[in-house]
Amino acid sequence: MKLKLCGLRRPEDIEMTNLAKPDYAGFIFAPTRRYVSPSAVRELCAGLDPAIKKVGVFVNEPVGMLVTAAKISGVDVVQLHGDETADYIAALRKRFSGEIWKAVRVRAPEDVKKAELLPADMLLYDSFVPGEYGGTGKRANLAAITCAGPTKPFFLAGGINSENLEEILSETEPFGIDVSSGFETGGVKDGAKLTEFMNTLYTLKGRLK
């Protein structure tokens, strides 16, 4: 199972990420409290383990501006976390050669079924909170995701932490998990919490499917 640590903003975040060795490191380019500029991401990633792929998270960004930000930051993957359509993804693919992920805020099984029709390289299922596009720390609707019977690999996000990880993984079988608020204290990445999470993850990998 793959792991993405998201919402990284500080050199300290990069240091703890290098120790944890996830598959992906996520940076938020949308206007939220976790926002970091493309140029800052480029500087931060000079110290990132090159084996860890860089993901840029965008929300309803015009294609041209997104492509520019991706080029400046040097991200390997673009994650679309807004209302982007199949046409938007097709237009982006003509200008961006990396992977394109689409995040979907799941309310009902139909949301999953519709998402699987999108021309994205990977889907990410997150919680639905009115007026918010992610990063809320709320649990995703696992019942709706499971009921839909996903046929494509997906990442799961939404309030995942060391305390609920076993329950979540026993209910779903994601290709990967996306963790952000789950290793924060007061909105800041917490190395001790990340260590606890990684220990829990490694233990569960040996016991769950």
**pLDDT tens across 134-185, in order?**
555 678 899 999 999 999 999 999 999 999 999 999 989 999 999 999 999 9
- Where does the pLDDT of residue 206 fall: very low under 50, low under 70, confident under 90, or very high at 90 and above? low
- Encode pLDDT of 13-56 as tens digits: 999 999 999 999 999 999 999 999 999 999 999 999 999 999 99
Q: How long, in residues, is the chain?
A: 209
Mean pLDDT of the chain: 94
Taking Cα atoms as reference points, which of 185, 106, 94 lies closest to residue 145? Answer: 106
* pLDDT tens-digit map of 81-132: 999 999 999 999 999 999 999 999 999 999 999 999 999 999 999 986 656 6
pLDDT of residue 129: 67
Q: Is the pLDDT of residue 205 over 80?
A: no
pLDDT of residue 131: 60
CA distances from 67 to 7, 75, 91, 159, 162 (A): 20, 10, 11, 29, 35
Between 199 and 205, whose confidence is greater? 199
pLDDT of residue 19: 97
pLDDT at 138: 78
**Cα–Cα distance, 34 to 159 (Å, whole number):** 15
Rounded Cα distance between 81 and 24, Å, is 16
CATH architecture of the domain with residue range 2-205? Alpha-Beta Barrel (3.20)
Cα dihedral 37, 138, 22, 51, rounded to 10, equals: -30
pLDDT for 139 equals 85
Residue 198 has pLDDT above 70, yes or no: yes
Residue 94: what pLDDT? 98
Alpha carbon distance 4, 52 (integer Å) = 9
